[in-house]
Amino acid sequence: GGIGGVHPRGRRGRAATSDVSADLTELARTPVAVVCAGAKSILDLAATLEVLETNGVPVIGYGTDDFPAFYLHSSGLPVSARIDSPAEAAALLSAHWALGGAGVVLAQPISKEESLDAASLAKHLARAKQLAEDADVHGGARTPFLLARLADLTQGATLQANRALVLANARLASRVAVALAGGA
C-alpha cells in the first residue's frame, strides 16, 4: 500500500506537524526497504517528504522521478533519486546500509491504467474530510474513517486501485529481495 505520513491540519485547528505516523520515525532508525505506492493520498505529501528528508530517509522512485500518491500515479513532487531495475535497487540498498543508513522508501507508482482521476479523487477526499470533521473523527480513527468513506464515495474504485498497487508492490519487493540475495 502506502506509507503513513504527516496528517493535514483539520479545520478545528488540530496540529498537523504533531500528527506524524510512527512509521516515518521507524524508517529513520531501522535498516529496511519499504516498497510502496508513496504515501496515502489523504496525507500532506509535501510535509511527509520533508519529514523523511529531515530524518535521512531516502525516497527512491522506481521507474519514476515523481513521488507517487497512492491512488494517483504522481503527486507532482520529486523523489530523491530514480532507479529502474531490481538490480539497481539492490545496489543502492546495499550501499546505503553499508554506510550505516537506516530505512529507504522505494516508491513505485500505481499503473496509469489503475490510477484514479485526480480531480475526482480530490472531490471525494474533500467530502470524506468534511464527513470526518462533522463527526469529529480524529486521531487514530481518522485514517480508517477517511479510507472507508473514499471506498463508499468512489463506489469501490479506491479498493480496486489498492489491490492493484499491493500486487505490484509485492512483485517488486520480491524481485528486489532476489537481487539482494544475489540472484538477479
Distance in angstroms (rounded) separating the CA atoms of residues 1 and 101: 23
Give the CA angle between residues 102, 162, 142 to the nearest 5°: 75
Give the C-alpha separation, 72 to 118, whole Å: 7
Assigned CATH topology for domain 22-180: Indigoidine synthase fold (3.40.1790)
Domain ranges of the chain: 22-180
* Per-state percent for the chain, helix, strand, coil, to nearest 5: 45, 15, 40
With a cut of 70, which residues of the chain have pLDDT below it? 9-18, 184
Look at residue 10 in the predicted model and tell me its pLDDT: 56
**Reported pTM:** 0.90
pLDDT in tens, 159-175: 999 999 999 999 999 99
